[in-house]
Chain A
Amino acid sequence: MSTPTHQASPPHEEENYLTHDTSIQSWLLTKDHKRIALLYLFSVTLFFIVGGVFASLVRLELLTPAGDLLSSEFYNQAFTSHGVMMIFFFLIPAVPAVLGNFLVPLMVGAKDLAFPRINLASWYIFMVGAGFAVFAVLTGGLDTGWTLYPPYSSTYSQSRVTWAVAGVFVAGFASILTGVNFIATVHRMRAPGLTWFRLPLFVWAHYATSLVMVLGTPVIAITMVLLGLERVFGFGFFDPAKGGDPVLFQHLFWFYSHPAVYIMILPAMGVISEIISTFSRQKLFGYSFVAMSSLAIAILGFLVWGHHLFTTSQSPYTGILFSALTFLVAIPSAIKAFNWTATLYKGSVSWETPMLFAFGFMGLFLIGGLTGLFLATMGMDIHLQDTYFVVAHFHYVMVGGGVMGYMGGLHFWWPKITGKMYSNFWSKLSAMFIFAGFNFTFFPQFLLGYMGMPRRYHSYPEEWQVLNVMSSVGASILAIGYILPAIYLTSSLFFGRKAPVNPWGATGLEWQTASPPPPHNFHETPVVTTEAYDYQSLPLSATPEPAEARHV
């Protein structure tokens, strides 16, 4: 992609961003985007575990038709805590704040993000917000569902709604600051010669995501302010008894929370574009269409929120408009899926671990996206609203898409981030466990939802037990799939083989600096002379490692 810097080869003595200063202070006050990415990595992993524990409780309860393990009140808290932790404190920050933070400056050939101090501040803000939410979840619980609909959340719920609302409000600003940072970085920090249409698609995806973060997140923030005022002082914006409008809350909430799905999925799509082209050893087919489809998804994502309100007082004519606009989102999504597939055609495809996750993404996101069209159809949605069909659909998108992309990206860039190779065998096993376990968990939920099983109840009629048991067993397999990486990735830090500069033979500036990179990323500012994914003119020195790196 650029003139390679061969000076990066003597790997032994060189200081990298992990070793140049190891004091605790140097971590907590770091302005290095790579270290901040790691701070985020630890944090979101922690919140993933918290959210995962609550998910396990939900699936355990649903093993039997009777609501026996958890009281209905505690069941409400379990699924709410699962949703709040996973969405606001894992999925939304996962790819952008961990992988994006680490990689966007490297990919554009910069020494850091445009605003390193704001980047560090965003992590502290995130942790304060998360602290509020964890406090709410662990001390009084939260039982409103992650959607926090009034009047239940404003008037009737006895749980710690105000703390959770404060947590979401505060954490939102972390997301906004990350978005502002990425926008300024992509515009102003690109290396010489790195034009917009030479940018890796990962960067395009993060640019589009940043637009959503900056335009959408403030709306959830002000909505949380209004909800807090409503709950604490009884302001009445959403209270019909005082002339307020509860549906107004739903409009404001989904104006952010629908685009928030694209905050989770767009950067994951960027990861997939990188992985597919690397392991097909081809330029990504339809580069500019894939780049523009990210922007199209970001823009269209703001015009579809009303499809969450088909069963409210929203006018059916408005509903038709929202339904039609929702169908339009399928077009840029399909552009991506078809271009990824076309990239594989006549490519030299290899089945490394990241590629397994990418294939998993393509399969699961396809199902998630297509079932979204069912739900965008107004007549269908009247039947499916608030059933397990919806639960299955958004898990296919957010977990099947977002988490698969995150896992794929983590495995793809792990050698760069840590400088260590992980076990091929265990990582491939994990990818397969996750794919199989995920489908076992959530496919039965489509059927349950179609049969009418509503979400958010801890008991159900006996004829649905078989499918629910399948789902819970699948969740156990899925859990093993997630526990495995925790073990083999951690052990790779101690026992892993040292990672070469470019273990996958990928293009991209991040693969031309040392693994792990030096504190300021590059010894000399790189100069870019070619388009992204230029595998034809890739120097021979950058071809992948033979033998043990490629095969189990």
Chain B
Amino acid sequence: MSSVAAALQHHFADFKQQKESAVLGMWSFLVQEVMFFGGLFVTYVVLRSQYPHAFAEASGLLDVNLGGVNTIVLICSSLTMAMAVHAASTGNRGGIAFWLFLTILFGSIFLGVKVVEYKEKWDHGLIPGIQEEGLKFDHETHLPRPTGFALYFALYFAMTGLHAIHMIIGIPILAILAVNGLRGKYGPEYYTPVEMTGLYWHFVDIVWIFLFPLLYLIGAHGAH
């Protein structure tokens, strides 16, 4: 497989060294991602501990069903991603493209649902700094919102927005991998790009596994 031999970069002694370097580099990068999201989670912890009731009340306005569906969709996309890595490691061209296509599909469904949710927040005036009526007054009872209510939505958009940006970056990479996979660039000797992208994709999914309960489920007990 000449294309595989060409995939060994000049400064590595062999494929083993190249792959080990890539794996270590990717994990280091994911550590930095943990710290990147970590700053947001710290902000969440600090502000929620100051306004637990306002956060619970605001959380009650999210659609748990849509969030739950999205959680399942993302977990499915992690499964198909893992299948794609497996297909790449066995050199199964059609398999790589098929599983990556499914991963892209699930990722797109997730983002589509997110658009629906954001649209709903827009309609209810829950966008800090842009559409704020709903953040100031409850449109049914006309009571003012408690302090911290708007902060919850600021965090909601910052956290889910940053998560969505990570998915939007991931999807074109998956598409490139699918094309390369069809062309037979990956096989048992060399499938590092698929595996590394897999690590990234799983990481993005895991972030959502934390976001879902912290944002959607805290209103479940005793908000009203």
Checking A189, A223, A243 against B147 with a beta-carbon cut-off of 8 angstroms, the contacting residue is A243
Quick one: which of B23-50 are within 8 Å of A by CB? 24-25, 28-29, 31-33, 35-40, 42-43, 46-47, 50
B151: interface (CB < 8 Å): yes
| Contacts known (A180-B25, A237-B154); A243 close to B51, Cβ less than 8 A | yes
Which chain A residues numbered 209 to 252 have a C-beta less than 8 Å away from chain B?
214-219, 221-223, 225-226, 229, 232-237, 242-245, 248, 252
B179 within 8 A of A: no
B43/A237 in contact, CB under 8 A: yes
Question: Which residues of chain A are within 8 angstroms of B37 by Cβ–Cβ distance?
Answer: 222
Are the CB atoms of A180 and B10 closer together than 8 Å? no
Shortest C-beta distance, B119 to chain A (Å), equals 18
Structural contact, B31 and A215, CB atoms closer than 8 A: yes
A171-187 toward B: CB 8 Å interface, digit per residue (1/0)? 00000100111011101
Chain B interface helix/strand/loop/mixed? helix
Cα distance A242–B17 in the bound complex, in angstroms = 53
**For the complex, what is the distance from the CA of A118 to the CA of B22, rounded to whole Å?**
11
Question: Known contacts being A222-B39, A222-B40, A237-B43, is A115 close to B25, with CB within 8 Å?
Answer: yes
Bound-complex Cα distance A58 to B1 (A): 64
Interface size class, chain A:
35 or more
Of the candidates B10, B20, B25, B32, which one forms a contact with A215 in the assembled complex, judged by CB atoms under 8 Å apart?
B32
Determine which of A114, A187, A233, A248 lies in contact with B43 in the assembled complex, contact meaning CB atoms within 8 Å: A248
B50-A245 in contact (CB<8A): yes
Q: Give the CA-CA distance A218 to B147 in the complex, in Å.
A: 29
Q: How far is the CA of A491 from the CA of B20 in the complex (A)?
A: 44
Given contacts A181-B25, A232-B129, A243-B51, contact A252 B43 (CB under 8 A): yes
Contacts of B17 in A (CB 8 A): 188-189
**Contact across chains for A222 and B47 when beta carbons are under 8 A apart:** no
Cross-chain contact A219 with B38 (CB below 8 angstroms): yes
* Alpha-carbon gap, A129 to B38, bound state (A): 23
Q: Is the CB of B128 within 8 A of A233?
A: yes
Shortest CB-to-CB span from A257 to chain B, Å, is 13
A236 CA / B47 CA spacing, docked (Å): 11
Residues of B within 8 A of A181 (CB): 25
Complex: A233 Cα to B29 Cα, angstroms? 29
- Once the chains bind, are A219 and B11 in contact (CB under 8 Å)? no
Cross-chain contact B151 with A242 (CB below 8 angstroms): yes
CB atoms of B28 and A234 under 8 A apart? no
CB < 8 Å: which of B24, B33, B43, B148 contacts A226?
A: B43
Shortest Cβ distance from A233 into B: residue: B129
B150 contacts chain A at the CB level, 8 A cutoff:
yes
When the two chains form their complex, are residues A218 and B33 in contact, meaning their CB atoms are under 8 A apart? Answer: yes
- State how many angstroms separate the Cβ of B9 from the closest Cβ of chain A: 8
B35 near A225 with CB under 8 A, answer no
B6 at the interface (CB under 8 A from A): no
Contact of B24 among A183, A217, A245 (CB under 8 A): A183
User: What's the Cα separation between A115 and B10 when bound, in Å?
Assistant: 11
Closest partner residue, chain A, to B44 (CB atom): A237
Residues of chain B contacted by A244 (CB below 8 angstroms): 47, 151
Alpha-carbon distance between A113 and B150 when the two chains are bound, in angstroms: 47
Specify which chain B residues have a CB less than 8 angstroms from the CB of A525 in the assembled complex: 13
Please indicate the chain A residues that have their CB under 8 angstroms from the CB of B150 in the complex: 236, 242-243
Across the interface, do B50 and A222 meet the contact criterion of CB distance under 8 Å? no
Chain A hits for B129, CB < 8 A: 232-235
User: Is A188 a contact of B39 with CB atoms below 8 Å?
Assistant: no
- The answer to whether B31 and A221 have CB atoms under 8 Å apart is no
Give bound CA distance, A166 to B54, whole Å: 31
Residues 102-161 of A contacting B (Cβ, < 8 Å): 110-116, 118
Interface residues on B, range: 35 or more
Q: Which residues of the other chain, A, contact B32 by a CB distance below 8 angstroms?
A: 176, 179-180, 214-215, 217-218
Whether the pair A219, B35 counts as a contact (CB closer than 8 A) is yes
Q: A181-B25, A248-B43, A252-B42 given as contacts; is B11 within 8 A of A110 (CB)?
A: yes
Taking a contact as CB atoms under 8 Å apart, the answer to whether B39 and A252 are in contact is: yes
B11 touches A520 (CB 8 A): yes
Bound-complex Cα distance A110 to B128 (A):
51
Please report which residues of chain B, range 112-134, place their CB below 8 angstroms from some CB of chain A when the two chains form the complex.
128-130
**Which residues on A sit within 8 Å (CB–CB) of B28?**
179-180, 183-184, 214
Tell me the complex Cα distance, A244–B50, Å. 9
Contacts of B21 in A (CB 8 A): 114-115, 184-185, 187-189
Report how far A222 CA is from B22 CA in the complex, Å: 25
Is B209 in the interface zone, CB < 8 Å from A? no
Q: How far, in angstroms, from A243 to B150 measured CA to CA in the complex?
A: 9
Residue of A nearest to B29 (CB): A180
Q: Contact: B151 with A243, CB < 8 Å?
A: yes
Cβ–Cβ < 8 Å partners of A236 in chain B: 128, 150-151, 154
Most chain A beta carbons < 10 A, residue from B25, B54, B162 = B25
B223 interface residue (CB < 8 Å to A): no
Complexed CA–CA distance, A204 and B128 (Å): 46
Chain B min CB distance to A282 (Å)? 33
Q: Known contacts being A184-B21, A243-B51, A243-B150, is A248 close to B36, with CB within 8 Å?
A: no
A235 touches B128 (CB 8 A): yes
Q: Which residues of B contact A248 (CB under 8 A)?
A: 43, 46-47
A355 vs B130: C-alpha distance when bound (angstroms): 59
Measured CB to CB, the nearest residue on chain B to A521 is B11
The contact sample of 8 A-B pairs, CB cut-off 8 A, is A114-B11, A183-B25, A184-B24, A187-B21, A216-B35, A222-B36, A222-B40, A237-B154
Q: Could you list 18 further interchain pairs (A-B, Cβ under 8 angstroms) beyond the known A184-B22, A243-B148?
A: A111-B10, A111-B11, A114-B21, A116-B9, A184-B21, A187-B21, A188-B20, A188-B21, A188-B24, A218-B32, A218-B33, A218-B35, A225-B158, A232-B129, A237-B47, A243-B147, A243-B150, A248-B43
Question: Measuring CB to CB, which residues of chain B are less than 8 angstroms from any residue of chain A?
Answer: 9-11, 13, 17, 20-22, 24-25, 28-29, 31-33, 35-40, 42-43, 46-47, 50-51, 54, 128-130, 147-148, 150-151, 154-155, 158, 162
Q: Which residues of A contact B (CB under 8 A)?
A: 110-116, 118, 176, 179-181, 183-185, 187-189, 214-219, 221-223, 225-226, 229, 232-237, 242-245, 248, 252, 255, 520, 525
- Sort A-B residue pairs by CB-CB distance and give the 9 closest, nearest first: A233-B129, A222-B39, A218-B36, A111-B11, A235-B154, A112-B11, A218-B35, A184-B25, A114-B21
